[in-house]
Structure 1
Amino acid sequence: MPGPGVSTPATRQRLIEVAIELFRRHSIAGTSLQMISDELGLTKSAIYHHFRTRDELLEAVLDPLIDQVRQLVEQAGAHRGAKAQADAMLVGFATLAVSNRTLFPVLTGDPSVGELLRTKQEWGAIVARQMELLAAAEPGTAGQVRAAIVMSGISAAVGIGYEADEQELVQELIAAGRRTLGIRPPRVN
């Protein structure tokens, strides 16, 4: 029988939570499994029971987010017209980013995340489709640049300690994203 808390789902979840906090403080590359085990007061072998490498742990952190982005992409793609699809993707992404505001800034531009998206081609395809949906509001390079600004801007902006509740922050991010993409809010009939 394993030691207390070593192989439970709660321990796995706690490992992920501590990893996110350490990623936030030290970057992904700057966080070792040893640092995580020290923070939790567990042996390194207890960590290895759940995750053999930092990349496996990063996958566990990203997997639920990628799944949510996949759902957003499917929902946005079901709308008619490029601008409606871009708006749906924007609204969904802003909402997702705000609900994960401690994690999103960590992931933005981190080379470990980029490498994982290249390695896990299915994940990379989901993120590429997300970008396509946002960029389609304006064809060509301009649309691609605007989409990149919106995605990275939202990801970075959610990490700032605003004196606003989540709903207000989501609305401000959506408004800024719409201005950047050159789309109007949908008409309410």
Structure 2
Amino acid sequence: MTTVEPVADTRTRLLATALRLFAEHGVEGTSLQMIADELGVTKAAVYYHFKTKAEITEAVAEPGIRELDELVVEAAKHRRHGARVDHLLDGFVDLVVRHRVLVALFSSDPGIDAALAKSRHGVEGFKQALITIVAGPEPDVTGRVAAIVAFTGIAMAGGSPDLAEVDDETLRQELIGVGRRLLGRPRRRVC
């Protein structure tokens, strides 16, 4: 059992280091050697966990993608349209705030798109699922535009370095407020 813990710890540290380096240099600008050097290990030690940078990229992105997959499925289960939209919006904002650095990479680095493409929904599947939940199965142009602007805008703002100093709760409240306005949802009453 003790032999598993150091391996898991090294893998966790490797992924955290890769994410930080991806954020600083982009996926394409980060080499396996850079990750190894930053960790203070050999390149062979990195290869023990991952054979390619693409595998590292997928592993870095996997938690956020898995959460997005689950969110879309759970939101779609609600019977009322408003409940589906609210569940999706709240969950999406939470995900964006929790994974700011990863979201910034999705918004700015094409090297990470391959990880999203391998998810249950895929890139186009996510877009279609979000649009369908928000605007219905046969949305008009206005509904499609509102959904795309809302979710793309939330992701880009949440991952923006211009908002890095904003605390999580403030960012969350602001993104929810903007999202509700863009999606035509009523303001929530504060009790």
TM range (shorter): 0.7 to 0.9
CA displacement 1:118-141 (0-9 Å, x = unmatched): 3x2524135642343234399222
Deviates most, 9-18 or 78-87: 78-87
- The match for 1:43 is 42
Q: Give the letter aligned to residue 180 of structure 2.
A: R
Unmatched runs of 5 consecutive residues or more in structure 2: none
Give the counterpart of 1:169 among 162, 168, 171.
Answer: 171
CA displacement 1:88-113 (0-9 Å, x = unmatched)? 10111001111122221112243223
SS at 1:112 equivalent? helix
CA–CA separation in structure 1 for the residues paired with 2:138 and 2:182: 11
Q: Deviation digits for residues 29-81 of structure 1, max 9, x if unmatched? A: 22111211121121111101111111111111121112211221122112223
Q: State yes or no: 1:71 paired with 2:70.
A: yes
Whichever structure has more helix as a proportion of its residues is 2
- Counterpart for residue 133 of structure 1: 133
Which of 178, 181, 184 matches 1:182? 184
Give the alignment of 1:18-57 within 5 angstroms. Answer: 18-57=17-56
Superposition RMSD on alpha carbons, in Å? 2.8
Whether the 8 Å contact between 2:105 and 2:112 is mirrored in structure 1 is no
TM-score, structure 1 normalization: 0.83
* Cα distance change of structure 1 residues 44 and 23 upon mapping to structure 2, 3 Å threshold: same
1:8-19 matches, cutoff 5 A: 8-19=7-18
Mean CA deviation greater in 137-146 or 101-110: 137-146
Structure 2 distance, partners of 1:137, 1:98, is 28
Report the count of equivalent residues.
Answer: 184
Conserved? CA contact 1:86–1:137, under 8 Å: no
TM-score (structure 2 length as normaliser): 0.82
What's 2:144 paired with?
A: 144
In the alignment, is residue 58 of structure 1 matched against residue 71 of structure 2? no
What one-letter code is carried by the residue in structure 1 that aligns with 2:136?
A
Q: Structure 1 pair 131/115, CA: closer, same or farther in 2 (3 Å)? A: farther
2:177 aligned partner, one-letter code: A
- Identity between Structure 1 and Structure 2 (%): 41
Assess if the C-alpha contact under 8 Å between 2:132 and 2:138 holds in 1.
no
Q: Is the CA contact 1:147–1:181 (under 8 Å) kept in the aligned structure 2? A: yes
Question: Residue by residue, what CA displacement relative to the aligned partner does 1:141-188 show, whole Å, maximum 9, x if unpaired?
Answer: 222222222222222212333654322221110110111122224679
Aligned with 1:108: secondary structure? helix
